[in-house]
Amino acid sequence: MRKLSGRAAPFEKRCLSGQITVFFSLILVLALSLLGTITELARTTLLEVHAENVSLMGMDSIFAEYHRELLEEYDVFYLDGGYGEKEFSESRILQRLQSAIGWNLEPSAGRPFLKSADTWRLRLEETGCGEYVLATDAGGAGFYRQCVEHKKGTSGITFFAGILTRITGWTQSQNLGEIEKDYADAQKKQADDWKKAAEEQEKAVSENKGQSTAGGDIQSDLPENPIQSVEELRMLSPLQMVLAEPNEVSHNRADIQKYPSHRKLKKGEGGTDPETNILTDIIFDEYLLEKLPDYTDGGGGDSLNYAVEYVLAGKESDIQNLEYVVNRLLVIREALNFIYLQKDIQKQEEAYTLAAALVGVTGIPPLIEAAKTGILMAWAFQESTNDVSALLEGKKVPLMKSAATWNQESDQGISYQDYLRLLLLTQKREKKTMRTLDLIENRIRIMKDCPNFRIDNCTETMRFHLKFSAPRVFLYFRIPGKGQERHVMTIDRTYGYGL
């Protein structure tokens, strides 16, 4: 038989080696480790993004529970941190935040068909909250800012620039603060001049008692100071002088000691005074005039009907608040009317004639001049009562009178609301802001049947501290007794309305 060649027969099974070298094994381990590391790094980055997203969704859920009545009635966003209770509850806020975040972290919660959908395995480990800003912090600074921003957005800056121009025109033509001071000084001077003249008269009578002079006997009995009748009227309630039916004024009262501006408030850990100027004050004042009723509106049906008057006066009853505003208006109008009378030559002559008839027999020129000034002041006071009465009836009164408008009705001038604008502009920002919050809290309690509502529980922003963890999937090292190593992520974020 012929010997087969060294070439294998076609049907012969070939045996191949399945081994690899140690070096190649190490290379393969390093390559797989590199691939796992890169993949895990990418997953870690995505986990951080996912943690941020679920945190924001949870915060959105919390602040979506804003107080509906505050928004509907007053156009401001606040979260009631008391949730209808008297005390601010950080734990309840955090509990609701955990619930909201947990729903997004575990898609299978309550939905078995999504059991295998959780590819992130991200879990919320810790929650906490830091500083938060309450409505009453820094004298209601956040509330003031929200109101200004709301009015800017609804009316436009041009509208308020027009109001600023009007008010600037009034205050530049007549500086009300200086006018009131000057008029008070004039009243004091008139009283002093009259007293001094009276003392001189008494001295002259004493020296010449029983003696006759070329001009006849010196009169010892002086007539009453013309301004005395005005001072007696001032002892009455101002409402009796300017209202036809003073008894029809609201007699509502409130226990203002329980209001935020009087009680001890919960303090937030944030809030600073807003940047204020005359324009922002005017915008805020327009917000007040829009949202709060005044006397000419007929009241608002709450414990205190005359809300704008309360913001100005801060008294416990509608009568006291209205009396305060009416007194201020009387003083302003009286001072302005006196300025006009000092410029009206005809009125000056009439007053001098009356003064000479009243005290001229004394023969003392300073006494005649003091009587003349007192008569002018009495006229100014009488005209001021007519002016304020017209304002309370919804009519207008010229800022500065003329011969044509003196003791006459006019459809020109400024209204009661315009005078409220002037008075609000002179009020301190913190006082009028906190008194506005008094009224808002009281209205929510009464009209919305929320007896435990407290405005100092309402928060605008809050800082949250969240800690997440997730297991390593593509690369991790297990240390005996230490468990599986996990990614840990922290979120530290301030969240709230307007941020």
CB atoms within 10 A of CB 428: 9
Specify whether the CB–CB gap between 367 and 429 falls below 8 A.
no
Whole-structure pTM value: 0.83
- Helix (H, G, I), strand (E, B), or coil: what is residue 253? strand
Question: Any alpha helices (H) in 174-277, and if so which ranges?
Answer: 176-207, 228-234, 238-242
The single residue listed with the structure tokens 């005209």 is 383
Q: How many residues does the chain have?
A: 499
What is the model's pLDDT at position 80? 94
pLDDT in tens, 6-25: 555 555 556 666 567 877 77
Hey, where are the domains in the chain?
139-202+221-455
What is the model's pLDDT at position 470? 85
What is the model's pLDDT at position 480? 52
Residues paired with residue 461 on neighbouring β-strands, in sequence order: 133, 496
pLDDT in tens, 279-325: 899 899 999 999 999 999 887 667 899 999 999 999 999 999 999 99
Q: Which residues of 240-276 are buried (b: 16+ CB within 10 A; e: fewer)?
A: ebbbeeeeebbebebebeebbbeeebbebebbeebee
Q: Which of 398, 392, 393 is nearest to 413 (CA)?
A: 398
What is the model's pLDDT at position 115? 57
Question: How many whole angstroms separate alpha carbon 385 and alpha carbon 177?
Answer: 20
What is the model's pLDDT at position 1? 45
- DSSP letter at 17? -
Residues paired with residue 118 on neighbouring β-strands, in sequence order: none
What phi and psi values does residue 486 have, to the nearest 5 degrees?
Answer: -130, 155
Task: Give the chain's residues under pLDDT 50.
Answer: 1-2, 4, 210, 212-220, 479, 481-483
Question: How many whole angstroms separate alpha carbon 331 and alpha carbon 176?
Answer: 10
For the chain, give percent helix, strand, coil, nearest 5.
55, 10, 35
What is the model's pLDDT at position 162? 81
Question: How many whole angstroms separate alpha carbon 89 and alpha carbon 81?
Answer: 6
